[in-house]
Amino acid sequence: MAFLIGDPCVDIKDRTCTSVCPVDCIYEGDRKLYINPAECIDCGACEPVCPVEAIYIEDDVPDELRWAVADNESFFTGVLPGRREPLGETPGGSKATGRIGVDTPYVAALPAAGEVP
Amino acid sequence: MSALTPDTPMKRVAVVGAGPAGLYAAEELVRQDRHRIHVDVLDRLPAPYGLVRYGVAPDHPRIKSITGSLRRILDHPRVRFLGAVALGADVTRQDLLDHYDAVVYAAGAAADRRLEVPGEDLPGSCSATAFVSWYSGHPDAPAPLPLDTERVAVVGAGNVALDLARVLTRPVADLERTDMPEPVLDALRASAVREVVVLARRGPWHARFTPKELRELVGLDGVDLVVDPRQLVPLEGLEPDRTAQTNLRILTEAAQRAPTGAPRRVELRFCARPLRLLGTDRVTGLEIERTTERPGATITGAGERETLTVGAVVRAVGYRGAPLDTVPFDPARGVVPNDKGRVLDADGALCPGEYVTGWLKRGPSGVVGTNKLDSAETVALLLDDLDERRPRRHPDLAGVLDRRGVRPIGLEGWSRIDTAERELGATRGRERTKIADWPTLLRLGKGPHPAREEPEELPWPS
C-alpha cells in the first residue's frame, strides 16, 4: 500500500509534497508528480499539504482515480518515453535524480485544463 | 547569495535534539552554499532519531525505516553527533551562545497534557508518553502500569490512542518481530488485558486519527472492534473534511460487522469525557459523562454519567513541550515563543542567534515529514541572519565538555549501540532488539577507554 497522486496535480505541480516527504519518493514528471510505491513508507505527510487534494492512500482512492494506481506504478516500472530502462528504485530518491521531465503516456495525453478532449 | 570558496569562514551552529526536526535542520544547514557551516547535533540520549526511535510504534517498521535517511544526515562530514549531552545538566544555554554562531532548539515535546480530573495521579493511571516510551525501550521509562487488569481505558482520539489500543490487544506473536525490548514483550505476554475502551470527548467527525491507523485497528486479527453505529451520524450543520469522511466510512463498515468472538476487543466510544478516576490505592474505575456538541461551539456535558470498571487509565490527549534550561518558554502553549522559528523572549523581543523548530516551535502536530518544511522555514531565517552577523572565532564546545568530565557519545559510539542491538535481535530472528538501560547504552556508546590499546571485550547486555 502506498500513497499516490491523481490528476488534480496535472499542470499544477505545487511540489509542497516533495518538501515534506521524508524519503524523497515523490518524482517530478513533465506535467505531474508521481509517488514511487516501492519507496513510499505510508507516513502520510504529503496528503494534507497538497493544495489541490490530489493525494490519496491506495485504499481510499475514489473510483474515478483508480487509473492512477497502475499509472503511478508504471512511471517507475515501465520504460518512460525517451528512456531505455525503467526508473526503478533510485538510491537517494528524487533528491538525487532531480526532475525526470517526462510523463507516462496516459498523463502526457491528458487534455490541458479548459481544453475540450 | 555568494558561492562558497575555500576562504569562506566556517560558522558553527548547535542543534539541540537529534530527532527528525533537529536532523532536518542540520541537513538544511549543511546543504546550502551561502555559508560554510559546521553543525553539532546534541541529544540528551545516547541514541539519535528522537520520536522515530522512541515514539513511532514498534509495529510500524516502514515509518521506522526513516532512520536510514536520517542516518545519512548524521554521516555528513560537517555534522557531528554529541549524544548523552543534556542542555541544562551538562551544558547551559549560555555555553551554547558562547560557542556557536547560532543555536536551533529542536527538543520536541517531552511532556504530556493532563486530563485535569481528580484521581489522575493514582497508580494505574499514566500518560501515553510514559507508556509509549516504555514499549519503545526509552532508558528513562520504567513500566508505567501493571497489566494485571482485564479492562483499560485510553482517553484520546489521535493516532497515539490507537497505537496504545493496538499494542495492548494485538497478539504478542505479532509483536515478537519488532524491536521491543525483551522485558516489554514479557510484560505483554503476561498481560491480563482483554478489552481497551478508547474514549473521545468529541464525535468521530472530529477524531484526529488517520484512516490508515483506523483501518489497521479494524483489520487486526484476534481483536474485535466495537463501535455503536448511533454514534456515527454526522452532526447536523457540519461538513466533515476528507479525512473525517473516510474515518466515518471505515467506522460505519466496522460497526456493521458482527463480533467474531475474538479473544480481545477494542471499543471506540465517542462523545464521552472523563470526570474522575476512581480508587483509593489504585485505579478501579473511570467515571465518564456523555457530551453534546454543536458546530462551532465547545462541547458540554450532557449530564448522563456512567462508571467504567477499568484497572488502568492511559491519557493520550497530546504531547507538550518542556522548558529547556533558561530558554524562553510559553507554558500555556508548551512551546518556545517564536516568529517563524526566531526565538522571542517574554516581551516579544528577538533573541539573536536562537531558533526553534519542530514540536517545540509549532506544538505537537504533524507527522515526521512535516518537520522538513518546518525546519526549512527556521533555517532560511537563520541563514538570512547569519549574513548580517560578523563571523566570530569560537572554541570547540568539546573542550568545555572535556573539562567538565562530560564524554559525549559520537556517531561511532552510536554505531556500536546500533550494532549491538542488531546482534541482540539476530539471536531471536529479529532485525533489532532495543537496549533500554542507561549503563549498557553508556558502556557501549562510550566504548573502550581511550587510554587502553586493546579493544575492550563488551559483555552482552543483560
What are the domain boundaries of chain B? 10-110+321-446, 113-318
State whether residue A51 sits within 8 Å of chain B by CB: no
Tell me, yes or no, whether A14 lies in a domain: yes
d(CA A24, CA B219): 29
Confidence at residue B451, expressed as pLDDT on a 0 to 100 scale: 46
Is the model's pLDDT at B296 over the cut of 90? Answer: no
Q: Which residue has the higher pLDDT, B39 or B259?
A: B39
Contact between B227 and B255 under an 8 Å Cβ cutoff? The reply is yes
Antiparallel, parallel or unpaired: β B79-82 and B102-105: unpaired
pLDDT in tens, B92-148: 999 999 999 999 999 999 899 999 999 999 999 999 999 999 999 999 999 999 999
Among A117, A114, A20, A32, smallest CA distance to A71 is for A32
- In the prediction, which pLDDT does B3 show? 65
Confidence band of B458 (pLDDT split at 50, 70, 90): very low
Rg (CA), chain A: 13
Q: Which one of B69, B215, B243 has the shortest CB-CB distance to A22?
A: B69
Residue B168's pLDDT band, with cuts at 50, 70 and 90, is very high
- Is the distance from CB of A6 to CB of A35 less than 8 angstroms? no
SS3 sequence of chain B: CCCCCCCCCEEEEEEECCCHHHHHHHHHHHCCCCCEEEEEEECCCCCCCHHHHHCCCCCCHHHHCCHHHHHHHHCCCCEEEEECCCECCCECHHHHHHHCCEEEECCCCCEECCCCCCCCCCCCEEEHHHHHHHHCCCCCCCCCCCCCCCEEEEECCCHHHHHHHHHHHCCHHHHCCCCCCHHHHHHHHCCCCCEEEEECCCCHHHCCCCHHHHHHHHCCCCEEEEECHHHHCCCCCCCCCHHHHHHHHHHHHHHHCCCCCCCEEEEEECCEEEEEEECCCCCCEEEEEEEECCCCCCCEEEEEEEEECCCEEEECCCEECCCCCCCCCECCCCECCEECCEEECCCCCEEEEEEECCHHHHCCCCCCCHHHHHHHHHHHHHHHHHHHCCCCCCCCHHHHHHHCCCCCECHHHHHHHHHHHHHHHHCCCCCCCCCCCHHHHHHHHHCCCCCCCCCCCCCCCC
Q: In this model, does residue B456 exceed pLDDT 50?
A: no
Nearest chain A residue (CA) to B370: A20
Distance from CA of A82 to the nearest CA of B (A): 30
Output DSSP code: residue B91. B
> Is B437 a residue whose pLDDT tops 80?
yes
Looking at chain B, the number of H-run helices and the number of E-run strands are: 16, 18
Task: Provide the pLDDT for residue B2.
Answer: 53
3-state secondary structure labels for all residues of B167-220: HHHCCHHHHCCCCCCHHHHHHHHCCCCCEEEEECCCCHHHCCCCHHHHHHHHCC
pLDDT at res. B95? 96
Q: Is residue A110 part of a domain?
A: no
Say how many domains are in chain A: 1
Give the residue on A whose Cα is nearest the Cα of B247: A60
Give per-residue pLDDT as tens, B417-426: 999 999 999 9
CB spacing of B367 vs A23 below 8 angstroms: no
Q: Which residues of B touch A53 (CB under 8 A)?
A: 242
CATH H superfamily, domain B10-110+321-446: NAD(P)-binding Rossmann-like Domain (3.40.50.720)
> Taking residues B377-401, what's their average pLDDT?
90
Q: What is the CATH number of the domain that holds A50?
A: 3.30.70.20
Cell numbers at residue B132, please?
A: 509509549
The B-side interface with A (CB below 8 A) comprises 20, 62-63, 65-66, 69, 210-212, 215, 242-243, 246, 366-370, 372-373, 376
CB pairs under 8 A between A and B: 55
Count the alpha carbons within 13 Å of B113 in the hemisphere toward its beta carbon: 14
Assigned domain for A40 exists: yes
Q: What is the pLDDT of residue B427?
A: 96
Helix, strand, or coil (residue B457):
coil
User: Does A57 contact chain B (CB < 8 Å)?
Assistant: yes
B300-308 vs B285-292, strand pairing mode:
antiparallel
pLDDT of residue A115: 65
Q: Is pLDDT above 90 for B248?
A: yes
Between the alpha carbon of residue B430 and those of residues B63, B182, B309, the distances in Å are: 17, 12, 37
Q: Under an 8 A CB cutoff, do A42 and B242 touch?
A: no
Structural domain that includes position A40 = 3-101
pLDDT category of residue B460 using cuts at 50, 70 and 90: very low
d(CA B378, CA B384): 10
Provide the pLDDT for residue B235.
78
Question: Which of B274, B283, B278 lies closest to B123 in space, CA to CA?
Answer: B283
Q: What is the pLDDT of residue B56?
A: 96
DSSP for residue B226: E
The partner residue sitting opposite B368, judged by closest CB among A19, A22, A53, is: A22
Query: How far apart are alpha carbons B226 and B228 in whole angstroms?
Result: 7
Q: A24, B69 in Cβ contact below 8 A?
A: yes
Cα-Cα-Cα-Cα dihedral of A58, A59, A60, A65, to 10°?
50
Task: Answer positive or negative: Cα dihedral of B419, B422, B427, B433.
Answer: positive
CA-based nearest distance B50→chain A, Å? 15
- Give the three-class secondary structure for A58: helix
User: In chain A, positions 85-114, which contact chain B (CB-CB < 8 Å)?
Assistant: 93
User: ipTM surpassing 0.90, yes or no?
Assistant: no
Best of B32, B212, B215 to mutate (most A CBs within 10 Å, chain A): B212
Q: What would the pLDDT profile of A41-93 be if each residue is shown by its tens digit?
A: 988 889 989 999 999 988 888 899 899 999 999 999 999 998 999 999 888 88
pLDDT of residue B455: 39
Q: Please check whether residue B136 is in contact with residue B55, taking contact to mean a CB–CB distance below 8 angstroms.
A: yes
pLDDT at B392 over 90: no
Beta strands (DSSP E) in A19-107 are 26-28, 33-35, 55-57
Question: A48 contacts in B (CB within 8 Å)?
Answer: 243
Predicted local distance difference test score (pLDDT) of residue A116 = 60
Taking 70 as the threshold, does the pLDDT of residue B428 lie above it?
yes
Query: What is the DSSP pairing of strand A55-57 with strand B79-82?
Result: unpaired
Q: CB B303: neighbour CB atoms within 10 A? A: 9
Average pLDDT along chain B = 92
Domain assignment of residue A74, yes or no? yes
The Cα-based distances of A73 to A36, A87, A103 in angstroms read 7, 11, 12
Contacts of A22 in chain B (CB under 8 A): 20, 66, 69, 368-369, 372
Let me know if domain B113-318 sits in CATH 3.40.50.720: no
Euclidean distance between CA atoms B278 and B439, whole angstroms: 38
Does the residue A115 lie in any domain?
no
